Amino acid sequence: MVSMPAPISLDDAVRRLYDGPAADFVRVRKELAARAKSEGAADVARAITALRKPTMAAETVNHLEDQPLGELLAVGTALRAAQTRLDTDEMKRLTSERHRLLDAVLATVSVSPAARDEVRCTLLAATADPSAEAAVASRTLVRGLRYSGWGEVDLSDALAHRDAAARGRAALRIVNTDSADREAEREAAARDAERRTAMQEVERARRRLSAAEDAYAAAKAARDSAQAALAVAETRIRALDER
């Protein structure tokens, strides 16, 4: 018996549309809406038809590689926590790390300068505001985001549909877990490297101490020899003076 394919859902359509190339968006949206309508799901068909094509910047952010994006978002989470604690040293370190990761992500992007700037602003917004972070993680942006430096990021009409943020929050739970594991691995590796460096420094210090002790012993022997020679010479002088 041949099994029938499951009816198309709005979530299925969102994944197909926003995971795929924007160049195919209109055609695929039309096909998916027609399929939903043929399956008797008129409401789903209307919802699919209402889905908006993403801008170039939004499409670029939606298609970023998981690992670099996840690392950037994780740093944003840590930076917000440091800001809450007013930990200035950690804020400075994480801000520098955010710039490094952001530059690394942008280096993989091939878009116009204007779109590139919009991608940059969107990613910065995602590191500044948890709601924007979830929006970016949802991979369903239809426009770029911008953080004013104060308050929350405006997400009105920024996502494919109102439930898309839930997809982002679910993705963030996975990303944050993976990032925490990677951070723990990095910290363990850093501790091991630091221990190896310390052991090497101990060994070098021991060698220097041994060399210094040898030099000291040689110098002491030379001093003793010189003192003995001096005593002999002084004795001879006194003997000559007494004649």
How confident is the model over 19-77, as pLDDT tens digits?
Answer: 999 999 999 999 999 999 999 999 999 999 999 999 999 999 999 998 899 999 999 99
Phi, psi of 171 (to 5 degrees): -65, -35
Higher pLDDT, 207 or 142: 142
pLDDT exceeds cutoff 50 at 172: no
pLDDT exceeds cutoff 90 at 221: no
Task: Print burial letters for 139-159: b (CB count within 10 Å at least 16), e (below 16).
Answer: bbbbbbbebeeeeebebeebb
SS3 sequence of the chain? CCCCCCCCCHHHHHHHHHHCCHHHHHHHHHHHHHHHHHCCCHHHHHHHHHCCCCCHHHHHHHCCCHHHHHHHHHHHHHHHHHHHHCCHHHHHHHHHHHHHHHHHHHCCCCCCHHHHHHHHHHHHHHHHCHHHHHHHHCCCECCCCCCCCCCCCCCCCCECCCCHHHHHHHHHHHHHHHHHHHHHHHHHHHHHHHHHHHHHHHHHHHHHHHHHHHHHHHHHHHHHHHHHHHHHHHHHHHHHHCC
Q: Give pLDDT, residue 225.
A: 79
Question: Per the confidence metrics, is the pTM higher than 0.75?
Answer: no
Q: How confident is the model at residue 174 (pLDDT cuts 50, 70, 90)?
A: very low
Task: Calculate mean pLDDT across residues 9-24.
Answer: 92
Kindly report which listed range (115-119, 183-187, 236-240) carries the lowest average pLDDT score: 183-187
The ranges assigned to domains in the chain are: 10-53, 57-191
pLDDT tens, residue by residue, 91-142: 999 999 999 999 999 999 999 999 999 999 999 999 999 999 999 999 999 9
pLDDT exceeds cutoff 70 at 17: yes
Looking at every residue in the chain, the average pLDDT score rounds to 84
